[in-house]
Structure 1
Amino acid sequence: MNALPALIRLGFDTGRLGFTLRTCFAACLALLVARALGLEHPQWSAMTVFASAQPARNMLVEKAFFRGVGTLVGTAVGVLLMLLSGGQPLPVMLGLALWVGLCAFAGNLLRGFVSYGALIAGFSAAMVVLLDIGHPDHILLLAADRLLTVLTGILTALVVGLLLAPKEGEDAVASEARQLAIRVLRQLTTLLSGTKPGAEEQRQILRQLALLDEALEPHGAGSLRSRRSARSIRSLISALVSTLVWLRAAPDTLRVEPVRQLLAQAADALEAGAPVAEVLPLLERAADLSAEHPPLQDAILRLEAAAKERVGVSDGEVRPARIEHPVILHRDWVGARQAALRAGGIMLGLGTIWVVTGWQAGALLLLGTSVMVTLFSTWENPALIMRKVLVGQACGALAALACRWLVWPLATSELELVLMLMPFIMLGALPMAHRRTMLGSIDYCMALLLLSQPALPLKGDLASTVFTALAVVSAPFLTLIAFRTIFPTDARQRLQVLAGMMLKELQDLCSAPEAALRAATWRARLNHRLLRLVRLSQQAGERVGTAEDGGVAVFAVGMAVLRLRAMLAEADLAPATTHAVRLALARIANATQQPARAVQALDELAGRFDEIGRGEAESMRAASRALAAQASFFTQSGAAVSAG
């Protein structure tokens, strides 16, 4: 009874400890099953368990599925490389470098477990090619053995996980979305009562929305219903972000009592746990009554549309959600291109050394590098995690040497080899559950298993096994150097690139005549980019409000640009007004160089619109205020715009 407090005091995450013990047990079971099936490398099945493990069932099912798909694709590519090259090292190495680079590119563009599947396809091909380079005539049998080995690990992880793992509680994510919607509605009611809501509260809501968006990938895993739920919540998040952006630049004197009362009733109903369907009529009436204030009406209409989409997957409804607004996610094209060049380049360099020297252990070095240079490229700070991976693999290599030379010589059968390896595997559960060592500790198990072939007779002398262990540990060391020197990447660098992408797209909007036709697409993508900007600013340790306020300003200016583009499409627009709009667009496009001139152009447009009775004046003033307040964000990101 007193063990849990003692473990907590020692730094263990007791909730995670059950998961790590379950995972290590499943790895031992997979090792036994693979050995019973007569597979050549049963330890690969145990490694697959560690790679597939997830703490909740829905995440486990989806990860296992995409790992299986990635393995199938990668194995097929590996076989094709061997058949086309005839097993010659040079063409094999060139083809493998190209394939790993392409998979790194795809993995950095995609998200969640789909991204994981793309990365798996990269090093699955390497697993087939590099371990079988001397047997091109048996490639189909060897590839089938590799595939069965991995699938055995996947199925074992699935069975153990489905029997013992808890189901992910989706109510937590949906409840958080509801609470944030209530807070945004309260912000609206405060504004409509004649009081300007606090900017700090809006920043806090935006930061929590960014965290919620990050949690949606695991929430949407495992079933079509979960995926629809995640998509509808993402639509709600997008509507809430749009509302927060408008609130930041809304006029201080706006007072619309009937609308305020309806929104207050909607917030009260949500807080009392009312079904979303009961809140819809309140939002519909509020939208009707706000017709004289187009920006306010637009914000309420978006909230109403998001609520309609939630009805299909909440409150026990059986009909699917109807997505009225696009959900478009940010794609890091710059990071993907850099990851591809980095992965392909290091594979090409190490592969050349391997081909020229004929170093036998070089295949293991290349295999380990192909895993790490792809899998960890999607992390916000890959160099930081690689230091922990290096420590974990070094410990795993030492454990493998201890097992090989101190324990295995006592074995009299291959079954005993497998059983003797299991305590070393189970030992990994402790560092995997400790707060200081959980990052990188799984690599202890990976290196241990990679270096432990439970087959008699035992092969190699002490010097050769030590040399092989050093080759395995060299992979994270060289990958660490690559992440530090080839397109160095961390949260701050990703933040700068993302800010540049947002401003570059703003420039493109200013010069694109068809911008008004893709307003919904642009708005949805910028919503998600703003959330990523907020999250990256937190991870980079930026001063609170700096990046998010800049992102909000880009959004506000972008909305003004879309309204101006829509005006230019009007057939009866006066020539003088057309000229003024085009001038303003040109100056906004140059806002990274001369923000003051863009502010002046927006103010002049607002005055002109007031004179001719155009409702766009309020949007122009909001954009002007946002740009003036965040001029430094625009100018400091100018270099990133040019680079993009």
Structure 2
Amino acid sequence: MRKENLPRHLAQKIGLDRQGVVYGLQLAFSAWLAFAIASFLHIPNPFWAAMPVFVVAQATRGLAFERGLYRVVGTALGALAGFGMIHFIQDTPIAALLMLALWVAVFGALTHLLYGVQSYAALMAGITAVVVVIPCMFTPENYMQLALARVECTFIGVLMITLSSALLTPNADRDRFYLSACEVAASACYLLGTTLNGTTKDGAAQEAEILQKISRLEASGIAILAGSPAAAQNKRVINAMIVSTIGLLATSRRLHTHNRPGRPVAPQLGNALLAIATLTKDNADQTLSTQHIDEALALAQATDSTLAQHLQRLLKGAKWLLTSDQESARFVFRPDTPMLAPATNWGLARQTGLLCGLITLVSASLAYVGGSFIGEMTALATAMFSLVLGSMVKPQIVAPFLLKGIIVGSIIAIGYRLAIFPHIHSTGLVVASILPFLLVGGMARASTMFGFPALDATMAFLLGSQAMLPARVVTPMDVMAESGSMIVAACIVAGGFILLPRRSDRHVHEATRTINRDLFRLINNGDKLGAGQWMARSVRQTLRLTAHLAQSGQRHSLAPAHLISALNFGHSIAQLHSLQDSWTPQTRAILQDLNAQLNTFTDEPSTLAATLMQYARDVQQQDVTAALWSASEALVAGQDFFAYRPGISRNHE
């Protein structure tokens, strides 16, 4: 290999292209400028200013801006809380430790209750309180200076990466994302169209594929739609389209059972939907013309009123996203437009809050009793790592990268402090000495091979380097012990998540339990949990289940078809409730025990299905009979789902 081709070959080997080089240089010089500004302003611990640059930087401009904003908000909130706790350190240190542990527990839990980038504010509020309070346990006389320095460094770092992102980071391709949302909706129209004209082939596989696409779409939207008020409004439209797309899947499965050989349910509507399924950006004006939409909606209304509602939201939403049609905008932005329920996970929130709170309390207490800087570093790292990993749904995936990064960064920091830093005697030299390490860290972070561990390696290096003047007087053993304390903390926390991983099966169980609990509430308290709210909540849990089923060992027993059947069962319950006022005396007599029977759906779904079939034969009201048949069919199709974990509590709050 020729020598001039060696750098290019090396870059290709580690996954670094031209755009990656620019991104790596952006990271390195933004972090270096932040460190230089903090150093020349003589802010204590100036290396804290470089750290936000690597964390806030993102592939798209909007996400970087929004992440920077929430980092500032979280840092300010955590610092204010830290100021309040510090006052207790000298007189009642136990009270300060308990308050810190409680604060970390609450904001660790909030990382799973706040949606998208907002959860980053909660994470930073927890971390900042730790960074402010724990060092002040050892130097309480300088608490205000330390706390303000932490906030100042955060502002400097966020400002640097924000300015560089405005110049160098591209905007997200939101038009492509909007088209993807419409293409997923078109896929649902295709499935429903083939169902209605009796030509469906492998509908279950199509349902699974569409649900997977929706799950990925909703997850990617967090980054793509960040940092733009207009995109935030369109996110409401996409959420409503997601609800209606899954509603179409449920309708397709419900109507599929009505097909008879040679007698499809609604062939004319099916053909209209197949025409809509050819939707692209280029033919949007023609495919979604007012005439075509009105014709399709009229046919849908004649077939099924719920189908018509879902289809109208889909078509109007797609028309707004692709053509900016103002008439569609007036419809899709109405206050009564259904919303996707927030992505809250109370089970993970409780688990994370308890874990992070206990780890912080134990590590900070041991550090306070020990009274050494090494103990302080260990407590800081342990609490921070627990928050960072605890905020993730599957921390065991990231934990090995964090562990590798911390080990490498800490070892490099030891080398820097022992071999380079003793020869530095001015602020200018400190700033210059850090630049090569930041360049390597920036390039590693931008590469596909080292991207994940490089972030933690850079953080560990900056924290372990203690690059500041005046420097603390330490021995070589102190240097190794201080960086070693971070390695120990990483081994404890990351190792714990690796050895005791969060299992997808547990998430599947929690999501199925939530859906079934909501079904119980719909049966017994339908007036408190309306059909619209139930649908929004159930769609959210369906997406959660879809994401976890792909990684779960229970794939053989649960499938997307079962999830769709659960939605149809809920739809049938809501229909029965809405028809209750029109029941004849004969119908009331036959269905007097209906609610009691419905409450057995998790115990004996097949037995309940047979009971509902018998009710349907006895009842003489057509609408009620249809709802009973639909409920029965949903129970048969989804019995593996309903009986997935028997013994669900009948706590109908």
Flag whether TM exceeds 0.5 (same fold).
Answer: yes
Matched-pair contact (CA < 8 Å) for 2:101–2:360: yes
The residue that corresponds to 1:633 in the other structure is: 641
The residue that corresponds to 1:476 in the other structure is: 490
CA 1:87–1:145 in structure 2 vs 1: closer, same or farther (change >3 Å)?
farther
Letter in 2 for 1:473: I
The residue that corresponds to 1:467 in the other structure is: 481
The reply on whether 1:354 has 2:378 as its aligned counterpart is no
What is the alpha-carbon distance in structure 2 between the residues aligned to residue 280 and residue 641 of structure 1?
49
What is the alpha-carbon distance in structure 1 between the residues aligned to residue 365 and residue 279 of structure 2?
66
What is the alpha-carbon distance in structure 2 between the residues aligned to residue 421 and residue 291 of structure 1?
68
The residue that corresponds to 1:422 in the other structure is: 435
Cα deviation digits, residues 7-48 of structure 1 (max 9, x gap): 576251535554344223321221112112221111001111
What is the alpha-carbon distance in structure 1 between the residues aligned to residue 245 and residue 557 of structure 2?
18
The reply on whether 1:495 has 2:499 as its aligned counterpart is no
The residue that corresponds to 2:15 in the other structure is: 12
Matched-pair contact (CA < 8 Å) for 1:276–1:315: no
- Give 1:641 deviation, angstroms: 6.2
- Give 1:511 deviation, angstroms: 1.7
The residue that corresponds to 1:453 in the other structure is: 466
The residue that corresponds to 1:201 in the other structure is: 206
What is the alpha-carbon distance in structure 1 between the residues aligned to residue 114 and residue 393 of structure 2?
15
Aligned residues between the structures: 636
What is the alpha-carbon distance in structure 2 between the residues aligned to residue 389 and residue 642 of structure 1?
42
The residue that corresponds to 2:230 in the other structure is: 225
The residue that corresponds to 2:132 in the other structure is: 128
SS in 1 for 2:323: coil
Instruction: Name whichever of 630-639 and 365-374 sits farther off.
Output: 630-639
CA 1:636–1:466 in structure 2 vs 1: closer, same or farther (change >3 Å)?
same
The reply on whether 1:441 has 2:454 as its aligned counterpart is yes
- Give 1:430 deviation, angstroms: 4.3
Matched-pair contact (CA < 8 Å) for 1:280–1:304: no
Q: Which runs of 5+ in 1 are unaligned?
A: none
Letter in 1 for 2:13: L
- TM-score for both structures, normalised by structure 1: 0.91
What is the alpha-carbon distance in structure 2 between the residues aligned to residue 221 and residue 87 of structure 1?
45
SS in 1 for 2:172: coil
Alignment partner for residue 383 of structure 1, among 389, 396, 418? 396
Q: Which runs of 5+ in 2 are unaligned?
A: none
- Following superposition of structure 1 onto structure 2, how do residues 526-565 of structure 1 map, counting pairs within 5 Å? 526-540=538-552, 543=555, 546-565=558-577
Letter in 2 for 1:348: L
The residue that corresponds to 1:267 in the other structure is: 277
Alignment partner for residue 525 of structure 1, among 537, 554, 561? 537
Report sequence identity in percent.
23
CA 1:513–1:229 in structure 2 vs 1: closer, same or farther (change >3 Å)?
closer
SS in 1 for 2:259: coil
Cα deviation digits, residues 306-355 of structure 1 (max 9, x gap): 44345555524576751422332232111111111111111122223223
- Give 1:70 deviation, angstroms: 0.5
Alignment partner for residue 328 of structure 1, among 328, 335, 341? 341
The residue that corresponds to 1:252 in the other structure is: 259
The reply on whether 1:39 has 2:43 as its aligned counterpart is yes
The residue that corresponds to 1:288 in the other structure is: 298
SS in 2 for 1:636: coil
CA 1:280–1:468 in structure 2 vs 1: closer, same or farther (change >3 Å)?
farther
CA 1:247–1:519 in structure 2 vs 1: closer, same or farther (change >3 Å)?
same
Instruction: Name whichever of 260-269 and 595-604 sits farther off.
Output: 260-269
Matched-pair contact (CA < 8 Å) for 2:399–2:498: no
The residue that corresponds to 2:106 in the other structure is: 102
Matched-pair contact (CA < 8 Å) for 1:194–1:252: yes
The residue that corresponds to 1:211 in the other structure is: 216
Matched-pair contact (CA < 8 Å) for 2:399–2:495: no
Matched-pair contact (CA < 8 Å) for 1:262–1:283: no
What is the alpha-carbon distance in structure 2 between the residues aligned to residue 547 and residue 47 of structure 1?
44
The residue that corresponds to 1:396 in the other structure is: 409
What is the alpha-carbon distance in structure 2 between the residues aligned to residue 500 and residue 209 of structure 1?
22
Alignment partner for residue 239 of structure 1, among 236, 244, 264? 244
Cα deviation digits, residues 590-639 of structure 1 (max 9, x gap): 22221222211232233234xx2322444433432332233233222236
Alignment partner for residue 613 of structure 2, among 603, 609, 612? 603
Aligned CA-pair RMSD:
2.8
CA 1:607–1:292 in structure 2 vs 1: closer, same or farther (change >3 Å)?
farther
Letter in 1 for 2:597: R
SS in 2 for 1:637: coil
Matched-pair contact (CA < 8 Å) for 1:588–1:595: no
The residue that corresponds to 2:308 in the other structure is: 300
The reply on whether 1:178 has 2:182 as its aligned counterpart is yes
